[in-house]
Amino acid sequence: MSEKHFCSCTDHKCPMNLVNHDKGCDLCIQKCLKLNEIPSCFFKKISLDRPENEDYTFRGFAAFVEKYLKEK
């Protein structure tokens, strides 16, 4: 990438991670939309903890939000 893009994903082994290509967030978002998932950066905005059972689905995100917003 010619310019530095923001990415909070720490899974550098993922082929969609920005360290592995120069296409920005597009590949990650396309993958997540195809799988009906939410990108990890949305979870990390709420907490650095990983979702239980690695559940990145819409329901998993809703449960994650509910859990962590109660703590605030």
Is there a domain that residue 36 lies in? yes
Output the pLDDT for position 1: 44
Mean pLDDT computed over every residue of the chain: 90
Share of the chain above pLDDT 70, in %: 90
Strand partners, 37: 57
Tokens of 45: 């905005």
Q: Decide if 64 contacts 43 (C-beta within 8 A).
A: yes
Is there a domain that residue 31 lies in? yes
Query: 26: how many CB neighbours lie within 10 A of its CB?
Result: 10
Of 4, 3, 71, 6, nearest to 39 by C-alpha is 6
How far apart CA 57 and CA 34 sit, in angstroms, is: 11
How far apart CA 63 and CA 52 sit, in angstroms, is: 9
pLDDT in tens, 38-72: 999 999 999 999 998 999 999 999 999 999 988 66
Number of independent structural domains in the chain: 1
Is there a domain that residue 7 lies in? no
Output the pLDDT for position 72: 62
